[in-house]
């Protein structure tokens, strides 16, 4: 297979208006139009014979036929070394699409110093100048590089056409545009002034650097974790997931073409512990922006805590070790697992004495999301909504439904309707093969493989437990697993009789839905039990035709989830419409895609200029 270096072509970045003149978007919505009337990026249909379908098929063929060399990007340096690691297709794990190297501790420390140097000019630019770059990047994503983003997400992360389009194209474009819009709107607030003094608020960058730790399951999240802090004047060390290196690298290059200066964002594929320990041990750590596992986020938080005396200011932990050990750490932006986030948090905690400021930790860590079905629910809606929530992208969305509570009176009805849809689901290679079902060259594939062998083994363990009858579990639908070519897990429905079963309460992160059937008379009791059944608090949905019960359930679940859906599936949040994030062990609930997210990446300074200097020290009451 040929090896090729990907280079995005383009001259120096023009302004947003110039970008519109020298390029076009597939939907004809541009950033200039968006800023006049904010609206979400339209989703393309990709019908056979359409312009976008032909363009996507060409991009898929191109990226499947070569291996892209992905370098470390630090300032103007491009470092490849031996390119000892490969990103392979999850649906064909012998097929490599990218080669890359891991950053060493010295590389990461170099990126910190390079970023701090770049910060001197970057944070002094106006917000309008920085927003202009992000808006230009949005137009590049909407037009010139839309198919590259979609194709690399499909091949490298196993998404079908629609799931790639709503992620790598639409959501990424929305993040760039809405973040710019919200940030500019934030600046409109200024403190009250008087005749005697003028008061103003300066939305400064954090002092130090931000570490952005991205997940595999959403290309757009990787772009958002790195670009949102940069928009507010911060410099960022971006660690992509090993299983999403290629799509994330394309975003990095798009940001470069749009005008992000060298050093503002460093692109650093890395071993997780090496990256985490190094950033957490730097005194310049300002924030960690994390999406991933709960254990990892807890580790990061503890690491920051242990280093508090090192830091220049208190880092923001927004959800890794080399970054955790830097005194310049300002923040860590993380999306990933709970164990990883816990690890980062501990690391930061252990280093608190090192830091210049208190780092911010921002984390989004997944969950065990539910659908609760009331006896009055519309089952013609419940079945397809649950199919989509549980099985889209093979259940690998943070918000995917993985547990469902059904009344006895509707259980058989649900099984019949659910099974009828289940039989129609096509699973296979995102290009042209399949493991269980028919060819997907026609674009009708609904789901593909899970991301890698580790995920496959974890999911299979739960399915095997159900097959053995653990906790009274039994397989209702699906249950096949095959990793001979790709990591394929058939969409599976399991029934359990124990409400505390690990299959019902532990995060599986795959196409596995677990059902618990309850007596109709205990509907309210079951709703009350849901919120404390797991340590998570991300998303959930209640389906009920009884409005009184629906709103009672809403109130009962007030602390249970960050995103609650009434008579709708638990997935599908849209930037600007449903700001996303959960609390408890699901994360810090900072609501990406909402108007308050930008403030997390700023360290506001209040400035008072007086026109009436103090001349007297005595109080009037003293006379």
pLDDT of residue 13: 33
Task: Please give the Cα distance from 17 to 231 (Å, whole number).
Answer: 19
User: Residues 224, 349: one domain?
Assistant: yes
| 229 and 375 co-located in one domain | no
The answer to whether residue 39 sits within a structural domain is no
486: closest CA among 136, 158, 50, 61? 158
Provide the Cα torsion 229, 122, 255, 290; round to 10°.
-20
Q: What is the per-residue pLDDT for 441? A: 46
Task: For residue 348, give its domain range.
Answer: 1-33+51-365+587-608
Structure confidence at residue 335 (pLDDT) = 73
Domain membership of residue 581 (yes or no) is no
Active site residue 364: yes
Length of the chain (residues): 623
Residue 232 lies in a domain: yes
Which residues in the chain land under pLDDT 50? 1-22, 320-321, 433-441
Distance CA 85, CA 73 (A): 16
Are both 144 and 237 inside the same structural domain?
yes
Domains in the chain, number: 2
Is 424 part of a structural domain of the chain? Answer: yes
Choosing from 57, 171, 364, 392, which is the catalytic residue?
364
Which token pair is 92?
């064909």
CATH code, domain with 489: 3.40.309.10
- Identify the pLDDT of residue 16: 35
594 and 520 part of one domain: no
Instruction: Please confirm, yes or no, whether 398 is among the known catalytic residues.
Output: yes
Is 3 in the same domain as 116? yes
How far, in Å, CA of 568 to CA of 570, rounded? Answer: 7
3-state secondary structure of 191: coil
Q: How confident is the model at residue 194, as a pLDDT? A: 94
Are residues 382 and 318 both part of a single domain?
A: no
pLDDT for res 45: 93
Q: Decide if 439 is inside a domain.
A: yes
Classify each residue of 197-218 as buried b or exposed e, where b means 16 or more C-beta atoms within 10 Å of its C-beta. Answer: eeeeeebebbbbbbbbbbbbbb
pLDDT digits (tens, 9 = 90+) for 342-388: 777 787 788 778 888 888 888 888 899 999 999 999 999 999 999 99
Residues 598 and 561 in one domain: no
Bridge partner residues of 335 (DSSP): 291, 364
Selected catalytic residue, list 398, 481, 490, 507: 398
- pLDDT at position 470 is 92
Kindly report the backbone phi and psi dihedral angles of residue 3, in degrees, each rounded to the nearest multiple of 5, phi listed first: -105, 135
pLDDT tens column, 254-278: 999 999 999 999 999 999 999 999 9
308 inside domain = yes
Task: Say how far apart CA 196 and CA 73 lie, in whole Å.
Answer: 51
- Residues 544 and 442 occupy one common structural domain: yes
- Same domain, yes or no: 237 and 338: yes
């Amino acid at each position: 297979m040929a090896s090729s270096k990907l280079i995005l072509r383009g001259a120096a970045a023009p302004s947003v208006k110039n970008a519109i003149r020298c390029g076009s978007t597939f939907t004809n919505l541009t950033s200039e139009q968006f800023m006049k009337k904010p609206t979400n990026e339209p989703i393309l249909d990709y019908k056979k014979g359409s312009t976008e379908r032909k363009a996507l098929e060409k991009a898929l063929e191109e990226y499947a036929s070569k291996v892209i060399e992905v370098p470390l990007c630090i300032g103007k340096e491009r470092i490849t070394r031996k390119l000892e690691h490969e990103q392979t297709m999850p649906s064909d794990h012998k097929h490599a699409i990218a080669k890359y190297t891991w950053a060493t501790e010295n590389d990461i420390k170099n990126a910190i110093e390079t970023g701090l140097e770049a910060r001197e000019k970057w944070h002094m630019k106006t917000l309008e100048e920085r927003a202009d770059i992000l808006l230009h990047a949005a137009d590049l994503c909407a037009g010139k590089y839309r198919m590259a983003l979609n194709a690399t997400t499909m091949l490298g992360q196993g998404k079908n056409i629609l799931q790639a389009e709503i992620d790598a194209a639409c959501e990424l474009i929305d993040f760039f545009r809405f973040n710019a819009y919200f940030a500019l709107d934030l600046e409109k607030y200024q403190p009250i002034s008087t005749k005697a003094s003028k008061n103003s608020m300066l939305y400064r960058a954090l002092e130090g650097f931000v570490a952005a730790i991205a997940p595999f399951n959403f290309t757009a999240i990787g772009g958002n974790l790195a670009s949102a802090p940069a928009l507010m004047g911060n410099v960022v060390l971006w660690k992509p997931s090993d299983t999403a290196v290629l799509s994330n690298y394309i975003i990095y290059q798009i940001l470069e073409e749009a005008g992000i200066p060298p050093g503002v964002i460093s692109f650093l594929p890395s071993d997780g512990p090496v990256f985490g320990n190094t950033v957490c041990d730097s005194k310049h750590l300002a924030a960690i922006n994390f999406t991933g596992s709960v254990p990892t986020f807890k580790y990061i938080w503890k690491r920051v805590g242990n280093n508090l005396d090192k830091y220049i200011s208190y880092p923001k932990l927004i959800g890794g070790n080399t970054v955790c050990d830097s005194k310049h750490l300002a923040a860590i932006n993380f999306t990933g697992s709970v164990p990883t986030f816990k690890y980062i948090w501990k690391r930061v905690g252990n280093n608190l004495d090192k830091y210049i400021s208190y780092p911010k930790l921002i984390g989004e860590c997944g969950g065990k999301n539910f659908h609760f079905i009331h006896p009055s629910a519309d089952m013609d809606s419940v079945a397809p909504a649950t199919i989509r929530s549980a099985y889209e992208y093979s259940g690998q969305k943070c918000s995917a439904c993985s547990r469902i509570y059904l009344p006895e009176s509707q259980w058989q009805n649900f099984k019949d309707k659910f099974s009828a849809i289940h039989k129609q689901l096509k699973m296979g290679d995102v290009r042209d093969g399949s493991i269980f079902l028919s060819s997907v060259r026609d674009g009708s594939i609904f789901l593909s493989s899970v991301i890698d062998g580790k995920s496959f083994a974890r999911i299979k363990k739960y399915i095997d437990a159900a097959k053995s009858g653990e906790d009274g579990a039994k397989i209702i639908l699906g249950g096949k697993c095959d990793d001979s070519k790709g990591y394929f897990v058939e969409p599976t429905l399991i029934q359990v009789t124990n409400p505390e079963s690990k299959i019902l309460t532990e995060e599986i992160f795959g196409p596995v839905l677990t059902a618990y059937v309850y007596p109709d008379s205990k509907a309210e009791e079951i709703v009350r039990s849901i919120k404390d059944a797991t340590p998570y608090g991300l998303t959930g949905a209640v389906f009920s035709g009884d409005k009184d019960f629906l709103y009672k359930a809403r109130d009962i679940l007030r602390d249970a989830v960050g995103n609650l859906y009434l008579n709708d599936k638990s997935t599908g949040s849209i930037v600007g419409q449903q700001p996303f994030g959960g609390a408890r062990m699901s994360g810090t609930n900072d609501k990406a895609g909402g108007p308050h997210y930008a403030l997390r990446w700023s360290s506001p300074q209040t400035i008072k200029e007086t026109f009436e200097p103090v001349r007297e020290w005595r109080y009037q009451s003293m006379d």
